[in-house]
């Protein structure tokens, strides 16, 4: 579990776990990390806005499979009090924003964020030394993965499915995809969906709702929101201005 402060101003927090008492001032971005199975209590004298992210142990095991030598089932993350890391902060805020948006970015995005957070925690706080995973560079390998994504743009693709197609763990897939293509898998998938929808809107008279479904968006408004965010154009704009292709 990661508990991260959202309040701008520092606030005093006291935590007791494993019979030890910790006291400190928490401000925005500072976190405490509790390993699976840990128990503790904490208190604060003034209001402290915070967010909690609960990761399943399976996510840590998947990260350990690629990052920690030995049996991944034995991977452990040491408890932390009053720690701060930009990567952890960014991922927690991204998960919070996705929750507040009603999960509009899709399952692959949520899966990727959660697995990236688990990997970050293992890299930073594993009780055993970590290693860097190997990454394939074969163009044929990546061509097959990108072809699979292209053929299934209408599906709510998840990280497990893409990792299985690649023949690697889901944790490893996020890392090697991002390094090989320069963008995370969820961003690549969204960009390809937008490009396909853009082409269909300009080149066909199919209903916008049908095009949304064919390109993996939940509905017409979901597609319109992403088009405006990425292109600054509405579906009607794209349909009426065929020269924007």
Q: How high is the mean pLDDT of the chain? A: 85
> How confident is the model at residue 244, as a pLDDT?
47
> Mean of the pLDDT values across residues 73-82?
85
> How confident is the model at residue 198, as a pLDDT?
93
pLDDT tens for 78-105 read 888 878 888 888 889 899 998 888 887 8
What domains can you pick out in the chain, each with its CATH number?
1-39+52-182 (no CATH), 187-244 (1.10.10.60)
> Mean of the pLDDT values across residues 62-71?
85
Least confident of 57-61, 114-118, 137-141: 137-141
pLDDT tens for 158-206 read 998 998 888 888 878 888 898 888 899 999 999 999 999 999 998 888 9
| pLDDT of 136 above 80 | no
Most confident of the ranges 76-80, 128-132, 152-156: 152-156
pTM: 0.70
| Nearest alpha-carbon partner for 174 in 123, 218, 217 | 123
Q: At what angle do helices 185-203 and 170-181 cross, to 10 degrees?
A: 60
């Amino acid at each position: 579990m990661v508990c991260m402060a959202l309040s701008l101003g520092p606030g005093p927090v006291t935590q007791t776990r494993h019979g030890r008492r910790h006291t400190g001032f928490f401000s925005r971005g500072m976190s405490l990390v509790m390993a699976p199975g840990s128990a503790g209590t904490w208190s604060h004298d003034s209001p402290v806005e915070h967010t909690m992210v609960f990761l399943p142990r399976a996510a840590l095991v998947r990260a350990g499979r690629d990052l920690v030598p030995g049996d991944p089932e034995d991977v452990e993350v040491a408890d932390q009090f009053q720690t701060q890391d930009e990567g952890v902060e960014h991922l927690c805020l991204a998960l919070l924003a996705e929750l507040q948006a009603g999960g509009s970015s899709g399952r692959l995005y949520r899966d990727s964020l959660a697995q990236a957070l688990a990997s970050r925690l293992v890299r930073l706080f594993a009780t055993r030394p970590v290693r860097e995973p190997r990454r394939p560079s074969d163009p044929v390998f990546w061509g097959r993965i990108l072809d699979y994504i292209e053929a299934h743009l209408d599906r709510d693709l998840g990280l497990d499915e893409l990792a299985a197609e690649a023949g690697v763990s889901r944790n490893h897939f996020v890392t090697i995809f991002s390094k090989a293509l320069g963008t995370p898998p969820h961003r690549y998938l969204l960009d390809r969906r937008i490009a396909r929808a853009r082409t269909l809107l300009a080149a066909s008279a199919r209903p916008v709702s049908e095009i949304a479904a064919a390109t993996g968006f939940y509905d017409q408004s979901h597609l319109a929101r992403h088009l405006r965010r990425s292109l600054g154009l509405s579906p009607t704009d794209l349909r009426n201005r065929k020269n924007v292709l």
